[in-house]
Chain A
Amino acid sequence: ETGVTQTPRHLVMGMTNKKSLKCEQHLGHNAMYWYKQSAKKPLELMFVYNFKEQTENNSVPSRFSPECPNSSHLFLHLHTLQPEDSALYLCASSLRTTNEKLFFGSGTQLSVL
């Protein structure tokens, strides 16, 4: 599949669990992003990576830990989340971090019980 692929599509976890979200892009882009989409709220930028170096951390709690081993792969490690962290987590990529056209994945719908 071309484009931006996210797994899993759905995830239910308890507050003490540890889980990871995965994102992969096949577009040859150099920048990757994690966004949080909650009901009735704007898309919130969480992290930005440029050439696998983190360039932006938008005051995200440490229970969210990103990892970018290369320009094509991005992970979001989750640990001791809260129910209010339940949301759709979207990965995106762009050619550069000057943020021209963003290509989004389909997202992971996360429910924290």
Chain B
Amino acid sequence: GENVEQHPSTLSVQEGDSAVIKCTYSDSASNYFPWYKQELGKRPQLIIDIRSNVGEKKDQRIAVTLNKTAKHFSLHITETQPEDSAVYFCAARGNNAGNMLTFGGGTRLMVKP
């Protein structure tokens, strides 16, 4: 089945700097890659997603890039703000039975004011 690795597990940046979180996946047939943000004590929420027919997608300060050849995708947050502090999860939908999402282990991002 699909295996998703996420790095780093923790990331600390200064307010205003950029943050990059990377994920690799194992199933070359995977075709959908969402990112979820979970603030402390709150529910995970989808913040951006990308499909395999697109190499990059942007939404204001966040962007996701996909390299299908290398089987990795990344979340980029520019001009970070304290409210970006949260745990971020990547996921991949492989070509397995039921097309279920497989999640990465999460990255705790801390933005220092």
Contact = CB atoms under 8 A, between A and B. Distances in A.
Nearest to A105: B43
Interface string A51-69: 0000110000000000000
A100 B45 CA distance: 13
A42 B105 contact: yes
B106 A42 contact: yes
Contact of A99 (B36, B93, B106): B93
Interface of B: 4, 6, 9, 32, 34, 36, 42-46, 49, 89, 93, 98-106
Interface string A92-111: 00000111111011110000
A11 interface: no
B27 to A, nearest CB: 14
* A contacts with B: majority SS: loop
B45 to A, nearest CB: 7
A104 B39 CA distance: 13
A10 to B, nearest CB: 11
B105 A55 contact: no
Contacts of B44: 43, 90, 102, 104
A101 B34 contact: yes
A45 B34 contact: no
Contacts of A101: 34, 46, 49
A31 to B, nearest CB: 10
A100 B105 CA distance: 20
Given A106-B42, A106-B43, A42 B103 contact: yes
5 contacts: A42-B104, A42-B105, A99-B93, A99-B100, A101-B46
